[in-house]
A and B are shown apart, each in its own frame.
Chain A
């Protein structure tokens, strides 16, 4: 086994596919072929395969988590898997494919650098593949990889593959996905998963694993300008460190350095960064997604929920915003409803002024709507009880996102992406 470097990069990807497209098999295969499956896990899989009468070692069982799922034989919730190669560590958010689980797909996609979709070569592009691609684009995942699976069942026919690539590319074109890649595979037999297959001489691209190891991890626009939501004020007892006042948080965009001019929002006070502290001492710079502690030159009033921003192009503090919302609760969202909104480190109350439109999940077209039901995605106008310091989601996935919380049940009921803050 290759030596694993402590300094490899981290790539998070989300998987999606309709039931039976072979997602569990593919993930099992990636883990197995990259030698992440350990003896006792494999023994377990062999035992269960035999008990179920699968007739072969069912790698899909490797990724099968909870009891209820094992009983039903389907994946029902987001599960996280890990594997590592000498170049990268991977976190997989494995999301189930059923129609009613749009919320899980959105959850998995929210932190992903890459989205991996599976299609069954025999079925081609189905309605659900379109929905997956739409969600990947809505959540601004920079890379989308489409694996055309079960190529062994269509005799490795290049024509079948090309038709699927063409059809998928056509409908995905208007979605504006930054980097769309196709790979013909057999998850069951491992073709083009880790190693290039001899069955596809007509395919010149990389294997799936080569692609995953090679794609650029774009933090992209997140680096445009400094964004530092304050999580916690460090003000130690006199015995530990008298007169110390530092603002602890995680850089959400851009970079900060001592001497930088900053503006604290929503107050609008300007000052400079005096120092950036870490347990190891002062740092020359802090960039996304580092967790650090910032000290400011002037004694301005800063607390949790405030955002320290680069003075160059700060966001605006707003109390009204337009956003795309994925609805995750049984009780629908409608105009007039009130929720708690959590945005960066700030929580406020929000009232829905208007449901502007809803996306028809079948045609992906927007139409008028009165409300958003479970798993609907639509556009709403919100008014908040306190100003939010927000960027458009298209510019920054951290400062442009929020969740809605039902204050009666404490449930997270909506995932929001800011379109326009004004």
Chain B
């Protein structure tokens, strides 16, 4: 072929091709992978990429949701429907069960969240099922500590990440070798940004849970963020619920995920809003990252997603 007429891929299709390649490498080289599905936009994209990697075959791994029990009901409904449509296996690992079994202790007070407890449930489920690889939807643009994380990110027996002992990742040659008890978190969307994810959802015509679009909801304001009123959140003195048009940029636990004021009711309106947004996704809507400067790094060391 003449190099002057060589075709090129758009950046989204180049990112897609890279992610599909990662999926297939993991399926081929690890024994028991699992795909972590939260019902959120990043994991929705993961499911589509898995279809692209393995259809007309089934997925060579199950899908797993770590359910805090405090999820948005719209997200749980969507999760069940989407997995059923795909005809794939789903495992639900429950934080409530971890608490009932005494593996995890519920936080107390109005700022209590089950976000941190997810780590226990996740690591227990990985051990119980003998998973050696877990696909996650994390992106490097989300947060400073992630910028250095590899696509194949190794976890020791305790699920810990050691940022100083990462394997070099050269070309597209991934080394997925691990010892018994270790596992690898795999992030096929490492090189995607939030905008890429939305544009891809738009181009592919993927359905997302309704909470991503502007809707009227009863909320209250805390630390500059708008939280949904729910049985899982106690109000602190001075906080008063009111109605606002909001949408969510992530679909985490109701106790730590805030909404943003928005009138964007369609995908293209959301994409347009994101393209001009002046605040990062995590900084705006995730209370869990705002605690200390190195909050994410600390949680990752402990085995968080």
Contact = CB atoms under 8 A, between A and B. Distances in A.
Interface of A: 1, 3-4, 6-10, 38-41, 44, 48, 63-68, 70, 76-82, 84, 88-89, 91, 103-104, 106-107, 110-111, 217-221, 223-224, 231-232, 234-237, 240-241, 244, 246, 248-250, 254-255, 278-279, 287, 289-291, 304, 328, 340, 342-343, 345, 397-398, 401-403, 405, 410-412, 415
Given A79-B147, A403-B173, A411-B167, A236 B21 contact: no
Given A84-B195, A410-B177, 19 more contacts: A3-B275, A7-B10, A9-B14, A10-B14, A66-B294, A68-B163, A79-B148, A80-B148, A84-B193, A104-B168, A237-B57, A240-B56, A240-B58, A250-B20, A291-B52, A401-B170, A402-B173, A403-B173, A403-B175
Contacts of A106: 168, 170
Contacts of B28: 231-232, 304, 345
B271 to A, nearest CB: 8
A64 B57 CA distance: 43
B108 interface: no
Given A39-B279, A412-B170, A65 B199 contact: no
A263 to B, nearest CB: 18
Interface of B: 1, 3, 6-18, 20-21, 24-25, 27-28, 51-58, 140-141, 144-145, 147-148, 163-164, 166-173, 175, 177-179, 190-191, 193, 195-196, 199, 202-203, 275-280, 283-284, 293-294, 297
Nearest to A252: B172
A91 B191 contact: yes
B53 A291 contact: yes
A287 B6 contact: yes
Contact of A415 (B18, B21, B168, B190): B168
11 contacts: A8-B10, A10-B9, A65-B144, A66-B297, A68-B164, A70-B294, A232-B27, A234-B54, A240-B56, A412-B170, A415-B168
Report the 7 A-B pairs with minimum CB-CB distance, sorted nearest first: A40-B283, A291-B20, A10-B11, A241-B56, A410-B177, A236-B57, A89-B11
A40 B199 CA distance: 23
A218 B3 contact: yes
A111 B168 contact: no
Contacts of A66: 144-145, 148, 163, 294, 297
Given A66-B297, A79-B147, A328-B168, A289 B18 contact: yes
Contacts of B277: 38
